[in-house]
């Protein structure tokens, strides 16, 4: 087979929905053969771009584009210190693009390159976040009527004060959060959803690493009678040892992983059956190459996948993980936040939400391209990240 080499690597930043997104394009020695990857770390987008342009591009131009595993390891150890989110995102953008190129060369959709479909559809969970219980129930009703049976609820995006969620309040521009009120409100809200829908829907909640460990254990126990599909991020990665307490005390399924970047964060949790779902932000761990390995390790331990799918990830990454979802025997559920109207123009071929599932563009590769002119209409911003400054009522800075 003719050797195809990396000819050029370009990085694009765009923010159509307000979040900075990072897209990587790898051009090859073959005319019209190129691939796209996602390197989105919304809060360090310019740093990711600089790493690719200043350190990775000079290292890679001229190398064999078919050697994905070799290039992934080369980039992972190139700076000696490793496994951090900024560099992992930079690696991911190149990794996903090389997988896109390989599948295009093979003339098949990416899922076929990964072993072929294990299922006919990739079910998603939708976010139903609003300011009041009635509004949350209304959103959940609409999501259910759209065919979605998996629903994650919260008051607002647990980020803004609202009528029924006094656990977030604003004081002179600063956000204060009360874990005890969060615990009380979320049990009440989930109970109302369970009462309304019975077992017709699967319910989730995202604790977003915000509740102190012993209270997270208490909340998991309090939620047990509601038979959740999972409780997400009950603990921060630093507090993972407390997971054993949750496991010993109750059967509420646990999903964890969107903040992970180091293998030693997920390996012990999977190997010791401390979680039920692994849900990394796949560009934060280095792309498809590590994600497919995590899925295989998880399969051996009875853990399912539920990859992170927020607004701060591109439709390229959503497509890549949906291809992986199709080809993963132990797939659980795919998070899907949805995108604004302009995304379809910027990312032609994006996965489409329909009837409770995500549907892929079945062309060779991951199926998503990138309209550079349209993206340029939404320049990335340099505003400081504010939402992560979350304080407790006494003013102590808290995990976001
Ligand atoms: C989720 C996440 C997001 C994150 C966001 C951070 O489950 O989708 O918790 O809401 O807060 O991705 O940028
Ligand atoms: Mg989350």
- Give me the pLDDT at residue 176, please: 85
Ligand 2 centroid vs 23 CA: distance in angstroms? 22
Cα angle at 362 between 361 and 367, to 5 degrees? 55
Report the C-alpha gap between 207 and 211 in whole angstroms.
7
- CATH number (3.30.390.10, 1.10.10.10, 3.30.70.60, 3.30.200.20) of 6-108 reads 3.30.390.10
CB under 8 Å to 50, separation ≥6 — which residues? none
φ, ψ of residue 297 in degrees (nearest 5): -65, -45
Tokens of residue 106, six digits: 């093979």
- The closest alpha carbon to 319, from 283, 284, 276, belongs to 283
Length of the chain: 400
Ligand 1 centroid vs 129 CA: distance in angstroms? 13
Q: Rounded to the nearest 10 degrees, what angle do helices 315-326 and 288-300 cross at?
A: 30
- Give me the pLDDT at residue 333, please: 98
Pick the residue whose CA is nearest to atom 4 on ligand 1: 310
208: Cβ below 6 Å to ligand 1?
yes
Q: Which residue has the tokens 């909640």?
A: 205
258: Cβ below 6 Å to ligand 1?
yes
- Which stretches does DSSP call E strand in the chain? 6-14, 21-28, 34-38, 122-130, 150-155, 168-171, 174-177, 202-206, 230-232, 254-256, 277-278, 304-305, 334-335, 352-354, 357-359, 390-391, 397-398
Ligand 1 centroid vs 32 CA: distance in angstroms? 35
- Give me the pLDDT at residue 177, please: 87
Q: Which residue has the tokens 């701060």?
A: 312
Report the C-alpha gap between 208 and 5 in whole angstroms.
42
Domain boundaries, the chain: 6-108, 112-365
Atom of ligand 1 nearest to the CA of 311: 12
310: Cβ below 6 Å to ligand 1?
yes
42: Cβ below 6 Å to ligand 1?
yes
- Give me the pLDDT at residue 387, please: 86
Q: Indicate the fold that domain 112-365 takes in CATH.
A: TIM Barrel (3.20.20)
- Give me the pLDDT at residue 175, please: 81
- The closest alpha carbon to 318, from 122, 166, 103, 55, belongs to 122
pTM: 0.96
- Give me the pLDDT at residue 202, please: 98
Name 13's bridge partners. Answer: 22
Report the C-alpha gap between 394 and 47 in whole angstroms.
34
Measured in whole angstroms, the distance separating CA 383 from the mean position of its chain's CA atoms is 22
Q: Which residue has the tokens 């409770």?
A: 356
Report the C-alpha gap between 63 and 379 in whole angstroms.
31
Mutate-to-test residue for ligand 1 from 158, 208, 337, highest number of ligand atoms within 8 A of CB: 208
Q: Which residues are catalytic?
A: 158, 208
206: Cβ below 6 Å to ligand 1?
yes
- Give me the pLDDT at residue 131, please: 86
Mutate-to-test residue for ligand 1 from 308, 334, 337, 398, highest number of ligand atoms within 8 A of CB: 308
- Give me the pLDDT at residue 161, please: 63
Residue pLDDT tens, the chain, 400 long: 789 999 999 999 999 999 999 999 999 999 999 999 999 999 999 999 999 999 999 999 999 999 999 999 999 999 999 999 999 999 999 999 999 999 999 999 999 999 999 999 999 999 999 988 999 999 999 999 999 999 999 887 566 666 556 677 766 677 888 899 899 999 999 999 999 999 999 999 999 999 999 999 999 999 999 999 999 999 999 999 999 999 999 999 999 999 999 999 999 999 999 999 999 999 999 999 999 999 999 999 999 999 999 999 999 999 999 999 999 999 999 999 999 899 999 999 999 999 999 999 999 999 999 999 999 999 999 999 988 988 998 999 998 8
- Reduced to 3 states, what is the DSSP secondary structure of residue 157? coil
- Give me the pLDDT at residue 374, please: 98
């Amino acid at each position: 087979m003719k050797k195809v080499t990396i000819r050029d690597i370009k990085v694009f930043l765009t923010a159509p929905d307000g979040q900075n997104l990072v897209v990587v394009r790898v051009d090859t020695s073959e005319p019209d053969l190129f691939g796209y990857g996602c390197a989105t770390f919304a809060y360090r987008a310019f740093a990711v771009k600089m790493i690719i342009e200043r350190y990775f591009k000079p290292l890679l131009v001229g190398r064999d584009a078919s050697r994905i595993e070799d290039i992934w390891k080369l980039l992972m150890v190139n700076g000696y210190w490793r496994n951090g989110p900024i560099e992992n995102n930079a690696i991911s953008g190149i990794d996903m693009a090389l997988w896109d190129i390989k599948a295009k060369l093979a003339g098949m959709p990416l899922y076929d390159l990964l072993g072929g479909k294990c299922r006919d559809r990739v079910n998603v969970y939708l976010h139903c976040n609003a300011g009041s219980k009635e509004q949350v129930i209304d959103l959940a009703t609409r999501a259910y009527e759209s065919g979605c049976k998996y629903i994650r609820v919260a008051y607002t995006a647990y980020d803004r004060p609202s009528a029924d969620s006094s656990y977030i309040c604003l004081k002179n521009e600063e956000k204060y959060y009360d874990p005890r009120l969060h615990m009380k409100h979320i049990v009440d809200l989930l109970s109302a959803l369970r009462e309304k829908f019975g077992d017709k829907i699967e319910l989730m909640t995202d604790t977003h690493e915000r509740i102190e460990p012993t209270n997270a254990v208490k909340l998991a126990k309090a939620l047990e009678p509601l038979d959740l599909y999972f409780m997400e991020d009950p603990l921060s990665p630093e507090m993972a040892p407390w997971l054993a307490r949750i496991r010993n005390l109750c059967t509420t399924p646990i999903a964890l992983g969107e903040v992970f970047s180091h293998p030693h964060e997920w390996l012990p949790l999977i190997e010791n059956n401390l979680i039920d779902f692994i849900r990394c932000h796949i560009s934060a761990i280095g792309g498809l190459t590590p994600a497919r390995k995590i899925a295989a390790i998880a399969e051996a331990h009875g853990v399912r996948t539920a990859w992170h799918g927020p607004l701060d990830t591109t439709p390229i990454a959503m497509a890549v993980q949906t291809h992986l979802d199709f080809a993963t025997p132990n797939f659980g559920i795919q998070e899907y936040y949805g995108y604004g109207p302009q995304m379809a123009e910027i990312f032609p071929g994006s996965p489409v939400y329909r009837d409770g599932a995500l549907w892929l563009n079945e062309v060779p590769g991951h199926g998503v391209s990138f309209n550079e002119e349209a993206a340029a209409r939404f320049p990335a911003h340099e505003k400081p990240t504010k939402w992560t400054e979350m304080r407790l009522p006494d003013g102590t800075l808290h995990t976001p």
